[in-house]
Chains A and B, each alone.
Chain A
Amino acid sequence: MNPEALAELANLGVATATVALAIGWLLHLAEWAAAWAAARSAQLVRVGAPASASAEEPTRATATTDHPADRLARAGLAATVLGTALLAAAVLARGLAAGRVPWGNMYEFAVAGALVVLVVYLGLVARAGIGWLAPIVTGFAVLVLGLSILVYLPPGPLVPALDSYWLVLHVAAAAIAGGAFVVGAGAAALFLVKDRAEARAGGPVTTGVLGRLPTTAAMDRLGFQVHAFAFPLWTFAALISGPIWAQHAWGRYWGWDPKEVWAFITWVVYAGYLHARATAGWRGRGAAVLALVGFVTFLFNFVGINLFVSGLHSYAF
């Protein structure tokens, strides 16, 4: 197949993947809505029912396996798997069309990054059962793919500074770490929501949307596992491979270029997160807030620094 046809195919793949993921996202939102509605009707029943029956209600509701919310969750997952497969094919076609790794400019990095987020997510759904993060992850992927149109470029050769094998290592490590950061930030956000709700209720919340989430302790643990995976990778991307490549391309290891500054800030904030988990008064909520702050610095580095601040990384990662 010639490069033009492959490029067409890549664009088609991204478009259909975005649609499939958007459907997945809507199904997962419907899942939450169904869980919310079920909790609400259960509450109404409980209010009207005799006291003895009310105690049975929650156990019966959770024991039901084919709850509408569960069916919607399965459908959403199927759509997400389909969207991810289409996106993977699109990224592959893009790479073949350009004859190089498909992450050579901001558009390509956004699409490849969305793919990495989805792959990390699906891997963890299989291994650690993190389907409860679906609405956040699929929503994020749809948002990124939708916005990537704004920086679209047809496939082409690399600018000379990027023409290096470090492009493969440095950018891949940053993208995989970023994918894990998305999952970690989602876990941290939902942790904060549930933690607050439980603090208000004065006990565990087992119904509704929050009832579909794992315990706060489990979410905190998942957050740590994901960040423990991402942080060493980020260290490699930002503080090892980045400087080595910068030395080859620009003649200095570290030059406080805006992109480097924010990569450093992200690193420091996530280092703060890891410490917070072992510091009294910061465990739990404080650590979760730091994980979110770290994610915001990561996003700002990709979006804000690329688009609004000029620097050596202006070809955009």
Chain B
Amino acid sequence: MSVPPASPARTAPAAPDGPAATAGSPAPDPAERPGGRRPPELTPRELGRWAWRQLTSMRTALLLLLVLALAAVPGSLVPQQGVDSIAVARFRIEHPDLAPWLDRLGVFSVYSSPWFSAVYLLLLVSVIGCIVPRTAVYARALRARPPSAPQRLERLPAFASYESAETVEAVIAGAERVLRAQRFRVDSHAGTLSAEKGYLREAGNLVFHASLVVVLVGVAIGSLWGYRGNAIVVEGSGFSNTLTQYDEFSAGALAGASSLPPFTVALEAMTADFQTGGSQAGQPKSFEATGTLTPAPGADPAPFGISVNHPLTVEGTSVFLVGSGYAPVVTVRDGAGEVVSSGPVPFLPADSSYLSEGVVKVPDASPEQLGLEGFFLPTAARGADGVPVSAFPEAVDPVLSLFVWRGDLGLDDGVPQSIYALDKDELSVVEEPGGGPTRLLLRPGQTAPLPDGLGSVSFDGVREFARLQISSAPLAWLPLTALVVAVSGLLLSLYVRPRRAWVRARSVDGRTVVEVAALDRVARADTGPDLDEVVAALRARGRSDRRDDPAATDGDRA
């Protein structure tokens, strides 16, 4: 893979669309016989060489790039497991027939699927297979002299000639100085001067592609040794960085859970501010979590503040504030009047008004276990059809709306279950004596009795919670630095324009005929004008040398 122009190692042959080569066919192999795509008999070694040359050809690299672009598309249209697992679950429910097929094809995790990996790994091999030999070619070109002049300079795209009164040697020496001043590398030989410049283009090209390889290696290291997890921390409680405290945790294959730095965070306040007026009322204005951080057991706690765009960093691990929500403080008493559950319970925000959903599990209630399920509305209002909705994300007029379930919560089955959902297999909804499910509507400080002497539920108050993301991406600077280097290389490869130039001087009847020609390796419009400038400089030089500084010119001629 290379940025234009292709150097010899990867230049596809010049006759692209001849009758033998159909569009999209691989570049013809030099060893190939005319008319056939492949010689009739190839030894495995030859076949391997042929396949390698195909893989590392520019055309294959181009096709792989386009396939990579195409392969990335489905992951933006179908929810991805690693990005939004809740959306994946919802998609599975909405498309029960399609989901198993998408599963088989790995469409729910496109970017770690075998086929996506195959495309970028092939591209990686193609890039390496291209830049390694090209680096060797480039190293030779750097040591080599500028290419010698073609026999007939007048056939080149830019050509000029003039007559001079100077000697052949003086013309060549002057040309050498003019071209050197234009940063050409020059080599003169018997009345002919060869010059070349723009070597940095290929260097930039090679640096760009090599950097991309480093980027991929760096990303691979980060994902093998890195980890990322989420935890919900309620105001007044804490989080210590051990595996059991995470709600969700994913780690690379080589990241050990024992390597988690043992810090502790105590959350004092989670503050979320929202626009209170205007057309953008209810839009978030700022989020901030404050509290104290204990970097290691026994260390002194220090205050911290985390806000969006301003994470907290502890020993290579960063703590981000990625969300907030409400945890209503709920106390449940059973039929005997005993407190069987008390404390803040995080309810997860379901929309931008912070209408939140959650459950309270009360396994210790007797005679039967209880489960509460429902909504928390930070600012209760009545929506269409009389359904309570949240009018504003801040807790202005909080209301807790709950249904009550009784029976077996299924916590003893040994099957892990979500703390945000009830397993209703062994539960039945509690009903009013008059019929219909019991629905509790509570404001802070209110207590509602449950029917059938099951006890009571109190809504004591509201606390906010912070959703923290704790992540470590080792060597993250490596791919980023490599990308910066890549862009520098890219700029060189796009803006440095290699050019070759030749000057030939011959003595004809006592006068010197000077021929100047230039060849651009990238098509450009200014070859002719630039050549005219060089010629003008050469002629001016010849004149001024004679007129103003005869001694120096004589010295040159000697």
Contact = CB atoms under 8 A, between A and B. Distances in A.
Given A161-B308, A248-B309, A281-B21, A275 B62 contact: yes
A159 interface: yes
Given A217-B523, A261-B75, A235 B62 contact: no
Contacts of B490: 231-232, 235
B111 interface: yes
Nearest to A239: B483
B17 A281 contact: yes
Given A161-B309, A228-B495, A251 B284 contact: no
A214 to B, nearest CB: 10
B94 to A, nearest CB: 14
Nearest to B524: A221
B525 interface: yes
B16 interface: yes
Interface residues of B, number: 72
A62 interface: no
Given A252-B228, A280-B14, A159 B284 contact: yes
B284 A252 contact: no
Interface string B292-333: 000000000000000111110000001010100000000000
B13, B16, B24 pick with most chain A CB within 10 angstroms? B16
Contacts of A258: 76-77
A68 interface: no
Interface stretch (A35-43, A108-116, A181-189, A265-273): A265-273
A278 B283 contact: no
Contacts of B322: 250-251
Interface string A261-294: 1101100110110111111111100000010000
Contact of A281 (B59, B476, B495): B59
B483 A240 contact: yes
B3 interface: yes
Interface size class of A (residues with CB under 8 A): 35 or more
Contact of B69 (A249, A265, A276): A265
Contacts of B66: 268-269, 272, 290
Nearest to A267: B69
A269 B69 contact: yes
B473 interface: yes
A251 B83 contact: no
A282 B524 CA distance: 19
Contacts of B75: 256, 261
Interface in A197-246: 217-218, 221, 228, 231-232, 235-236, 239-240, 243-245
B4 A252 contact: no
Contact of A275 (B15, B17, B61, B280): B61
A154 B278 contact: yes
A128 to B, nearest CB: 10
Contacts of A123: none
B127 to A, nearest CB: 11
B182 interface: no
A281 to B, nearest CB: 4
Nearest to A294: B69
B287 A160 contact: yes
Contacts of B58: 275, 278-279
A281 B307 CA distance: 53
Nearest to B286: A160
Contacts of B214: none
Contacts of A245: 309
A252 B471 contact: yes
Contacts of A305: 76
Contact of A278 (B5, B278, B483): B5
Contacts of A297: 69
Nearest to A261: B76
B240 interface: no
B208 to A, nearest CB: 10
A152 to B, nearest CB: 10
A275 B2 contact: yes
B27 interface: yes
B494 interface: yes
A235 B69 contact: no
A255 interface: yes
A156 B76 contact: no
Interface string A129-159: 0000000000000000000000001101101
Interface string B453-491: 000000000000000010101001001100110110011
A160 B311 contact: no
Given A161-B309, A251-B469, A279-B59, A235 B12 contact: no
A251 B525 contact: no
Contacts of B279: 153-154, 156
Interface of B: 1-6, 11-17, 21, 23-24, 27, 58-59, 61-62, 65-66, 68-69, 72-73, 75-77, 80, 82-83, 110-111, 219, 222, 228, 275, 278-280, 283-287, 307-311, 318, 320, 322, 469, 471, 473, 476, 479-480, 483-484, 486-487, 490-491, 494-495, 523-525
5 A-B pairs with the lowest CB-CB distances in the bound complex, closest first: A278-B4, A280-B16, A251-B320, A280-B12, A281-B16
7 contacts: A217-B523, A240-B484, A269-B69, A274-B494, A275-B62, A278-B6, A280-B14
Given A243-B480, A279-B59, 18 more contacts: A156-B279, A160-B285, A163-B286, A235-B487, A236-B487, A249-B309, A251-B318, A257-B83, A258-B77, A262-B76, A265-B72, A268-B68, A269-B66, A275-B2, A279-B58, A280-B14, A290-B66, A309-B77
